[in-house]
Each structure stands twice: as structure tokens, then as C-alpha cells.
């Protein structure tokens, strides 16, 4: 998949953000701890994605950031004064120190615009590059002292660059687990996408005493999404600057943006003001008990590499035809190899079963391939096809079921013809 995977050359600045947690140690010996004395009673996290300062292109010279405003209500459960070390990890590949002697504390804190404090004062924050086990990175640490039974409202504010790079339109955050399970695997060629996004990781919230009684997560995406819809995946003139003239399917001209959120966009409640203006989308948990990655928040916007012109669709067909013919020529050889692997027990039984099932489904290129691809593209544009051969593909797409989207008339006519249906209504 040379043409498609050329897009993977984009630099990916993967970012992970977490709740405030209890840490112990200093320098690179810091580790996530737990406390039975201080409870995180409530938290309110407000996230605002924003446009970057410069044109966003495939060089990743600038990334769209997100502003985070967090309010944590911390409660001393004891009858004595308690001092605890508090930390906030922010992991990003965009800033990574392997040599702690090269860290400039002021510059790093300024890079993230990181501030922690109360209404009365800010805390002196120190930065460590990672914890002892290197599970968390870019950790900001400070100490908090609680009087007996005291509640403190802790504010944490920071700004983070996002992620930009190769993405997938598959639902969930572990798409590789679906490998070999698609009935017609050539449909995977429609799952590549340009993607950008942010995350908020809640794992460290479980280091506090007891349960988080209430957690409120808010995002203000309205202006940013309007900007993305107008901009597309990139905003500079690719016709003039793209040196890869040999690419037949220009992935820098992608299909319209679609959301890939966890929890899904539909689960968020829209909150408006008295003038009926959109304020934010909100999730409320009472109580909130973060346990695993499933509790993390993900806000990804993907621009699917689905054809937007007749020429792009024909180029995709030519690529898939060549690829399928090559795979079909190897079918018997690979079935024999995996049959021997089963006898030798060189691979896990489940893996062998999935791979053998895949190679058994491998067949030659036929007109049905063209029909299925055409119907899948039409479904993306909100044109229902009721094709049972692509049902499993559709059900794992973050954009399905799709509302009607604008489609080039020539592409629509071409797809309907390929799908053995010339009715353009």
C-alpha cells in the first residue's frame, strides 16, 4: 500500500493528559502513589480546542492546541494537618528529556503554560521528565498542606499541542485487534485517514482516597469544528507545494471531516445559555471511578482517505486490483505455511485460526469487488445501498451511519454505475 502509507511520514506528536495524582519521591525517582488521607471529592475539566498560530500542513510545523482548565475539590479526611506531594503528568513526544541536566524549569513550564494553585495563590511547581518506571512523563510536582478536615479548590490550567498524523476510521482505540476479521479485507483501503486530536487520561484520579463523588467533563468544540470543516486536513496550497507528483490518490485532498470521539459524540449533552447559544458539551459522572484506558477521553477528528473524485476512485480500483492479484497468487502457498505452523505450534492457536480464515477468503479480483467498494463510498456520502457484503465494514466505521454529504455529481454517477445501479435519484 505504497501510495496510502506514504502519508505515514507525517510526524506524530502523541499527547496524553491526566488528572492530578499523588506522587512521592523527587527528580527521576518520582512514582505514582496513593493516599488514604486526601480525597478528590469533585472535578470539573473544561477543554477548548483552538486553531494553531500558523498554517497546519504535513510538515507538522504547527499543531492545533487544546486549552485545559481543571478544578479539583480536594478534602482532608483526617483530624490532623496533612502535607502531600501532588503531581500532574502530561506526556508528549513533542517534548522529551533524556538528560535531566538539560532541563530549563522556567522554559518547560512556559512551554505548557502550566499553572497550579488556588484562588489565593499559585504553587511553586517543579518539573521532572518522567517517573521511575517511565510510565508517565512531563510531570509537574508541588506540595499541598491541608488543615484538619479542610477542603481546597485546586486549579490546574495548561495548553497542549495536539496529534497530527495517520489515523483510521475504525471505531475504538485498538483497531489492530480487528485485523483479519473483515469479510472483504480490501475494504480496509477505505479506512485510512488523516487525523488530529487530543486526549484526557483519568488514570491518576484513582490515587486519591475513596471515590471521586462527581466528575464533570466539558468541551467547547463549536468554533474549532467550524474552522476544520472549512480548512480540511490541511490549509496550504498543496497543488503548488506537493512534490510527490507520482501519488495517484492525493491523500492531502481528503473527504470531509468526521468525529471519532470516545465516549462517542452522541453521548455528550449540549448545554445552552439563556439566549439559546451553545455553551459546551458535557458528561457528568456521579460517582466517577477511573479504572482503565476505557475511561479516558479522546477527541479525534479524522479526514477519511475516501475518493472525492471519479479519478481517485479509478486509481483506487487499479491499486486494489494489482494488490489482490498478487495476494491470490500466494494463497495456496500461505495456506500450506499456516497449516504447517499449526502442526508445529509455532504461533498462538487463535492467531493461526484468524490468519487461515483470512487466506481462505482471499480470491481473485471480480466485478463484485468494484461494486462493494462503490457501495461503501456511497454509504460514506449518506447514500444507502443495503449491500450485505459490506455490512461488517460499515458497522466498524466511526462515520456510519452517515448523514447525506455533498458529493461530486460525476463521482456519484460513476459509483452508481459501478454498483450496477444507474439510478441517480
Q: Report residue 86 as a C-alpha cell.
A: 501532588
**Using alpha carbons only, how large is the chain's radius of gyration in Å?**
25
Taking the CA atoms of 337, 342, 345 and 348 in sequence, report the sign of the dihedral they define: positive
Cα 159 to Cα 259: distance, rounded to the nearest angstrom: 22
Given a contact cutoff of 8 angstroms between Cβ atoms, the answer to whether 62 and 52 are in contact is yes
Assign 3-state DSSP to the chain and report helix, strand, coil percentages, each to 5.
Answer: 30, 30, 40
What pLDDT does residue 27 have? 62
The residues, any chain, with a CB within 8 Å of residue 166's CB and separated by 6 or more, are: 5, 7, 8, 10, 12, 192, 193, 194, 195
pLDDT reported for residue 424: 42
Alpha-carbon span 325 to 173, nearest angstrom: 31
How much is the pLDDT for 199? 86
Note whether 28 and 128 are within 8 A (CB).
yes
Q: Which residues contact 364 (CB under 8 A, 6 or more apart)?
A: 324, 325, 328
Phi and psi torsions of 106, nearest 5° = -65, -45
Residue with cell 443495503: 386
Burial of 199 (C-beta count, 10 Å sphere; 0-12/13-18/19+): buried
What domains sit in the chain, N to C, each tagged with a CATH number? 9-180+194-304 (2.60.40.3680), 310-418 (no CATH)
pLDDT at 95: 60
Region of 368 (left: φ > 0; alpha: ψ -120 to 50; beta: rest) is alpha
Q: Chunked in runs of 10, what are the mean pLDDT values of the chain (425 residues)? A: 34 53 74 85 95 74 88 96 90 62 86 94 89 76 95 95 84 65 88 87 77 94 93 66 47 76 94 96 91 80 91 92 92 90 83 84 91 96 96 94 93 88 42
C-alpha cell of residue 136: 508517565
Joined grid coordinates for residue 395:
458497522
- Residue 232, helix vs strand vs coil: coil
Bridge partners (DSSP) listed for residue 155: 71, 117
Amino acid at each position: 500500500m505504497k501510495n496510502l502509507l506514504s502519508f505515514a511520514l507525517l510526524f506524530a506528536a502523541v499527547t496524553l493528559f491526566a488528572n492530578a495524582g499523588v506522587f512521592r519521591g523527587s527528580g527521576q525517582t518520582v512514582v505514582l502513589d496513593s493516599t488514604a488521607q486526601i480525597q478528590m471529592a469533585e472535578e470539573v475539566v473544561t477543554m477548548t480546542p483552538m486553531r494553531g498560530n500558523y498554517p497546519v500542513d504535513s510538515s507538522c510545523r504547527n499543531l492545533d492546541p487544546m486549552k485545559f482548565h481543571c478544578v479539583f475539590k480536594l478534602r482532608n479526611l483526617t483530624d490532623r494537618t496533612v502535607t502531600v506531594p501532588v503531581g500532574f503528568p502530561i506526556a508528549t513526544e513533542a517534548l522529551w528529556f533524556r538528560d535531566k541536566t538539560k532541563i530549563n524549569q522556567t522554559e518547560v513550564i512556559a512551554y505548557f503554560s502550566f499553572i497550579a494553585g488556588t484562588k489565593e495563590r499559585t504553587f511553586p511547581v517543579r518539573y521532572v521528565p518522567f517517573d521511575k518506571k517511565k510510565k508517565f512523563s512531563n510531570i509537574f510536582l508541588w506540595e499541598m498542606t491541608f488543615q484538619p478536615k479542610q477542603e481546597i479548590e485546586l486549579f490546574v490550567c495548561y495548553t497542549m499541542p495536539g496529534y497530527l498524523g495517520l489515523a483510521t476510521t475504525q471505531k475504538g482505540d485498538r483497531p489492530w485487534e480487528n485485523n483479519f476479521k473483515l469479510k472483504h479485507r480490501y475494504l480496509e483501503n477505505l479506512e485510512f485517514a488523516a487525523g488530529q486530536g487530543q486526549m484526557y487520561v483519568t488514570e491518576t484520579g484513582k490515587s486519591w482516597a475513596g471515590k471521586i463523588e462527581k466528575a464533570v467533563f466539558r468541551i467547547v468544540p463549536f468554533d474549532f469544528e467550524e474552522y476544520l470543516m472549512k480548512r480540511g486536513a490541511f490549509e496550504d496550497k498543496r497543488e503548488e507545494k506537493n512534490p510527490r507528483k507520482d501519488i495517484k490518490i492525493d491523500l492531502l485532498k481528503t473527504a470531509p471531516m468526521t468525529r471519532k470521539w470516545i465516549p462517542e459524540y452522541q453521548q455528550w449533552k449540549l448545554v445552552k445559555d439563556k439566549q439559546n447559544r451553545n455553551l459546551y458539551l458535557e458528561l457528568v459522572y456521579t460517582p466517577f471511578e477511573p479504572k482503565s484506558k476505557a475511561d479516558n477521553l479522546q477527541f479525534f477528528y479524522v479526514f477519511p482517505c475516501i475518493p472525492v473524485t471519479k479519478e481517485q476512485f479509478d486509481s483506487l480500483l487499479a491499486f486494489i486490483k494489482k494488490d489482490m492479484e498478487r495476494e491470490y497468487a500466494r494463497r495456496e502457498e500461505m495456506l500450506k505455511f499456516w497449516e504447517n505452523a499449526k502442526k508445529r505450534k509455532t504461533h498462538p492457536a487463535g492467531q493461526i485460526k484468524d490468519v487461515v480464515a483470512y487466506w481462505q477468503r482471499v480470491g481473485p479480483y471480480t466485478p463484485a469487488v468494484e461494486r462493494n467498494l462503490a457501495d461503501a463510498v456511497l454509504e460514506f456520502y449518506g447514500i444507502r445501498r443495503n449491500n450485505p457484503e459490506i455490512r461488517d465494514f460499515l458497522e466498524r466505521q466511526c462515520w456510519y451511519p452517515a448523514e447525506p454529504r455533498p458529493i461530486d455529481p460525476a463521482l456519484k454517477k460513476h459509483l452508481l454505475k459501478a454498483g450496477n445501479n444507474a439510478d441517480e435519484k
